[in-house]
Amino acid sequence: MKKKLMVVSVMMVFAFCASVASTLTNEPASPDTAEIYYDASSGYFSCWGTDMDRAGRNYYIAPGSQTWQYAGKRNISNNSWWSSYRGLYAGGVPGGTIVNGLYRQSYTCRGGAIGIMTAMGTAPGYTWTDLGEEICFVNSKNNPPPATVSLIDTCLMVDFQGRLWLAHGCGSIWIVELDPDTLLLRQNPLQKQFSDGDSRWTNIANGGRNADDPTIEGPFLFPHEHKGTQYYYLFCTWGENSPDIWNSYEIRMGRATSPTGPYIDKSGKRMDLEHGPGSGGTLLLDDAGSIIGNSHYQVPGHPGVCEYPVTGGGTKFVFSFHFHPNGGGAESLAAKVMTFDAQGWPVVTSTDFDPTEAGGGEADTTPPSPKNS
């Protein structure tokens, strides 16, 4: 079944980098990731980032353009429940997908809770309606950091069978199934508290260079069929939680034939092994920019993938990630063409994606809309 909107996680706020970007005239920048998707009905690429309760950091690329433009602050309704969790947390790295024909986006609240909102209207002037209650929370309400970190960096995914999944986490990556009709937990939705001993959740990845203080975060799940096998690709930000963390970020990946894993890297190692240097995960982008072949793109993190239709037929993939230009300065967005090798593993190229190529209909390689099974 075809979809009108294709999703990818990205970052925002302007950072002009025309000397580096060969196609895009500017590179949005942010201290964390955001969300971008392609709306085939309007031809817009849109993105929403962190700080939803402040500046908004909302941008779009209009049809035929190669420049991100400011879209204004979000208009969000039905969100009174935020007050129970010390207000909205800077966006909490929102991640979205199409559920029952509408674009939904998950996010994190202060105090340790995950919510979901729905986009209404048309690009670029979307309005947002919140679900009106939390999906889950950790420990108890109004938690200060670091108790909240297990619920940050959210990602929604629809699998090949139309089931809806929520992934999240820092230190460990977790996945849980949601009900596509209610958008709440599929099992025992009134029991909202998350803990690592809850059987509704599955730990799908661990990582970090330091076993005593590991970091893996920013999960992004992407379904893609290769030579008849339906895979789920897991991309994560991986590094070390230390004063030097921003100098050790890198992006690793694995894949599975089930949303709950196990996710296996190219060497056959599982990504849910114990924390430490031996944790599974194939290096996709290193911290020095060597793999992509440009030292401008150092310290990559918070990955995302968008599949979009191109004029003349077919689809293309854009891989997005934030980076520190030449190892310093504010994080900026890179949006590069992604391909797959002969074994079906993603390859990120040094070529910028070209938004003016988009068009010609809807991508037809995405999973069907969620349904009860």
* pLDDT-derived band at 180, boundaries 50, 70, 90: very high
Residue-wise DSSP of 186-212: SSSTT--EE-TT-TTEEEEEE--S-TT
Q: How far, in Å, CA of 99 to CA of 354, rounded?
A: 27
One-letter identity of residue 26? N
Q: Which of helix, strand or coil describes residue 361?
A: coil
Phi, psi of 359 (to 5 degrees): 145, -175
Q: 244 CB contacts (<8 Å, ≥6 apart)? A: none
pLDDT per residue as tens digits for the range 254-303: 999 999 999 999 999 999 987 766 779 999 999 999 999 999 999 898 88
Q: Which residue has the higher pLDDT, 88 or 355?
A: 355
Please check the confidence at residue 19 and state whether its pLDDT lies above 50: no
Q: How far, in Å, CA of 266 to CA of 345, rounded?
A: 8
Q: How far, in Å, CA of 22 to CA of 93, rounded?
A: 27
What number is the average pLDDT over the span 184-196? 93
Please check the confidence at residue 68 and state whether its pLDDT lies above 90: no
8-22, 58-72, 77-91, 339-353: range with lowest mean pLDDT = 8-22
Q: How far, in Å, CA of 205 to CA of 264, rounded?
A: 10
- 3-class DSSP string for 99-151: ECCEEEEEEEECECEEEEEEEECCCCCCEEEECCCCCEEECCCCECCCCCHHH
Domain 5-357: CATH architecture, name and number where available? 5 Propeller (2.115)
DSSP state of 274: P
Phi, psi of 338 (to 5 degrees): -115, 140
**Which residue carries 């910028």 as its tokens?**
352
Confidence at residue 88, expressed as pLDDT on a 0 to 100 scale: 52
pTM attached to this predicted model: 0.88
pLDDT more than 90, % of the chain:
43
Confidence at residue 160, expressed as pLDDT on a 0 to 100 scale: 98
**Domain range list for the chain:** 5-357
What number is the average pLDDT over the span 234-255? 78
* pLDDT-derived band at 327, boundaries 50, 70, 90: confident
Q: Is the CA virtual torsion 121, 126, 130, 131 positive or negative?
A: positive
* pLDDT-derived band at 15, boundaries 50, 70, 90: very low
